[in-house]
Amino acid sequence: MYKVLVLLAIFAGVANCYVAIERKDVSVLGGIGIPEIPETPEFPDFPEFPGLPPIRNCGGVSTLIDFKISGWDGDEYFNPGQTYNCEFTFMPSKSAAGPVRYKQEYCFNDGSCKEIFNSELPNSSLQPGFTTTLKFGFVPNDILSGQAIEIKTLLVHSTNLLVEICVALEIKIR
């Protein structure tokens, strides 16, 4: 198991977050329940994950396998000042290679987006045949109280800018 951990403190007044990547060899999992990667991906809708807020595929060539949020009680709203830990497991595309950048942005109802983080992750090469788990956390700021926002989290190849995965999480802030 290979981990990369990057601690982040976002001082833009919007949120705090961290990110970690973990890889597992598919042969260890026996290949059970892991979907095939299409040759020509079309960004299909992600499966519904019961008990979680809506997520959508905002682009990328990977296949989402699992999505989790800890720290959320299942209420319709997220609380300002509380840490929410997210993780999603995906199967990288067959074209995965080289270092990746972690990007996160918040998008508002008026269509505007604010980039929160954009940085290359050291020693982060994705490899086909290995499931990869991206872990990150966020803390909604009280300045966003009463708003519904979309948090977009992306992994993008640094060398060719191919979007490996993009997950958009819709949240309402109390």
- For 122-158, the pLDDT digits (tens) are 888 888 888 999 999 999 999 999 999 999 999 999 9
Nearest CA to 126 among 71, 153, 152, 163? 163
Check if the beta carbon of residue 113 is closer than 8 Å to that of residue 152. yes
Sign, CA dihedral 23-27-33-38, equals positive
Q: What is the mean pLDDT of residues 89-109?
A: 89
- Give the model's confidence band at 92: pLDDT under 50 very low, under 70 low, under 90 confident, else very high: very high
Q: What is the DSSP letter of 144?
A: G
Residue 9 has pLDDT above 80, yes or no: no
Q: What is the mean pLDDT of residues 27-46?
A: 50
Count: domains in the chain = 1
Helix (H, G, I), strand (E, B) or coil at 174: coil
Name the average pLDDT for the chain: 79
pLDDT for the residue 3: 35
Q: What is the mean pLDDT of residues 44-72?
A: 87
| Structure tokens given for 131 | 């499931």
Q: What is the mean pLDDT of residues 32-53?
A: 61
DSSP string, 28-74: HHTTTTPPPPPSS---PPPPP-TTS--EEE-S-SSEEEEEEEES--S
Give Cα 29 distance to the centre of its chain. 22
Nearest CA to 80 among 153, 146, 8? 146
pLDDT for the residue 20: 66
| CATH number of the domain enclosing 56 | 2.60.40.770
Percentage of the chain lying above the pLDDT 90 cut:
51
- Give the model's confidence band at 25: pLDDT under 50 very low, under 70 low, under 90 confident, else very high: low
Q: What is the mean pLDDT of residues 9-27?
A: 49
Kindly report, residue by residue over 161-172, the tens digit of the pLDDT: 999 999 999 999
Query: Domain of 88?
Result: 2-173
pLDDT for the residue 43: 60
